Amino acid sequence: MTAPFDFAPLLAPGTPAPAVKWTGFPTYNFIGGHNDPKHLPVEALIEAATAVLRREGVTLATYGLNSGPLGYRPLREFLAGKLKGHAGIECSADEILITSGSMQGLELVNSLLVTKGDTVLVEQETYGGALTKLARLGAKVIGIPLDEEGLRLDVLKQKLEELKHNDVKPKYIYTIPTVQNPTGAIMGEARRRELIKLAAEYGVMIFEDECYSDLVWSGERPKSIYALAGGEGVIHIGSFSKSIAPALRVGYIVAKWDVLARILALKQDAGSGALEQMVLAEFCSRHFAAHVPKLSKALHAKLQTLREALAEQFGTSAEFGNPPGGIYLWIKLPDTVDTVKLAQAAQAAGVSINPGPEWSTDKDYARCRLRLCFANPEPETIRKGVEVLAEVCRREFGVPVRSSNVDKR
């Protein structure tokens, strides 16, 4: 038998703590970008896989490179059409790079622009995964507060001016303008145009993340920032995770070729999985337009279930809006509640939530806030999960005082 090997002295500095063993999904799962399994188009995906493999399966022998390193061409062509109709983006298939989820998009854009000590601007409440990646890179992250329409440009301008005064050039402004994560806000076209002007004035890139933009209840949304800027100074990312299935891990980057050529040079992974791109292209060209409204309708119903459950269980203790799309709800509890502690206690009771501080650069502001994702659990699970969460919250923090119109004091 070989003696145990101590690898600890060899670890790179800053390596995160070890992962814990997986113990399965929580009973009440309100975290993660999971989707509604009832709206996973299994039979249509089987048809798509069969058709595309039979026609082009042999190209898997050559890294799918018949389409070049940007990714499966029919998928890029589908996207070019979809982005034009949906987001107003005029781009060719050669200005689209398929990525392994929009997570890889985030990483590639960071690799392109951000090095240790660099400053980036983000929405004060924003995607936790983006914050984690920036922290690991050692970037200085400045959060800009949001209002009902998203990024507050008055504060942004002030911050840009201040940074300029201190000779600091921020690398990008990261924004989720269409169904903001976690607030659900949609930035109007006028503010988008203002943002473009402001970013250009200070020579900062705009990094536009439109992961959730397919899931707008009305089906209507403003033109993307990329579209309004004619692509100048903007990098746009998106994903099929929320509209089809997160486990396919297919996202994309849209950028002008001079920017995209730099990003492509950084994508040294021998390509993203070709089968998933091929199946998606085959599926989407026939079914995307019909699939998304059906999914949206189901998600919208789940959101209302969640809002009703919260009103019933938390009463006035929970404040939240009525977001126009997405898969999450951003909630404020009374100031006495610490949602990091609440998340730990809830976890023990089988309820997973995102505590606000993980989704914000302002840990104090977010302390009593949380994010609940509603796409995955069934309506009955949503109702029961919120009931359990309210019980845990009452036990730990004394609120809500009333649930289901019954005084619990």
Site for a copy of itself contains 264 (CB under 8 A): yes
- For a copy of itself, the closer of residues 301 and 311 by Cβ is 301
**Cα–Cα nearest to 134, from 147, 124, 121, 125:** 121
Q: Which of 77, 88, 133, 388 binds a copy of itself (CB under 8 A)?
A: 133
Sort strands 251-254 and 319-320 into parallel, antiparallel or unpaired. unpaired
Residue type, 329: L
CB of 337 to a copy of itself, least distance (A): 28
Nearer residue to a copy of itself within complex by CB, 253 or 337: 253
Please report how many Cα atoms fall inside a 13 Å half-sphere around the Cα of residue 329, on the Cβ side. 26
Contact status: 13 vs a copy of itself (CB under 8 A): yes
Among 135, 168, 190, 266, contact with a copy of itself (rule: CB under 8 A): 266
376 contacts a copy of itself (rule: CB under 8 A): yes
Q: Which is nearer to a copy of itself, 66 or 322 (CB)?
A: 66
What is the SS3 assignment for 128? helix
Q: Does 230 bind a copy of itself (CB under 8 A)?
A: yes
Cis peptide bond N-terminal to 400, omega within 30? yes
262 binds a copy of itself (CB under 8 A): yes
Q: Which stretch binds a copy of itself (CB under 8 A): 81-89, 196-204, 282-290, 401-409?
A: 196-204
State the pairing for strand pair 96-99/251-254: antiparallel
Q: Which residues lie below 8 Å from residue 242, measured CB to CB, with a gap of 6+?
A: 33, 35, 211, 212, 214, 215, 327, 375
In angstroms, what is the minimal distance from the CB of 369 to a copy of itself? 23
CB 267 to a copy of itself: min, Å: 8
Q: What part of residues 272-331 is at the interface with a copy of itself (CB under 8 A)?
A: 272-276, 279
Distance spanning both ends of the chain, measured CA to CA? 62
Site string for a copy of itself, 144-183 (x = CB under 8 A): -------------------------x-xx-----------
Residue 332 parent element (H or E):
strand 328-332
Neighbours of 136 (CB within 10 A): 11
Sole binder of a copy of itself in the list 84, 90, 92, 115 (CB under 8 A): 115
Q: Which of 26, 40, 81, 152 binds a copy of itself (CB under 8 A)?
A: 40
Comparison of 109 and 337: residue with beta carbon closer to a copy of itself: 109
Angle in degrees, CA 344, 347, 353, rounded to 5: 85
Among 87, 103, 372, 373, binds a copy of itself (CB under 8 A): 103
| Complex with a copy of itself: residue 22 or 364, whichever CB lies closer | 22
Q: Please count the residues of the chain.
A: 409
Q: Does 35 bind a copy of itself (CB under 8 A)?
A: yes
The one among 138, 188, 203, 219 contacting a copy of itself by CB under 8 A: 203
Beta carbon of residue 41, minimum distance to a copy of itself (angstroms, whole number): 9
Rounded CA separation 68/257 (Å): 14
Are 387 and 380 a contacting pair, CB within 8 Å?
no
Residues 6+ apart with CB under 8 A from 292: 214, 215, 243
Distance of CA 190 to the CA centre of its chain: 23
By the rule CB under 8 A, 46 interacts with a copy of itself? yes
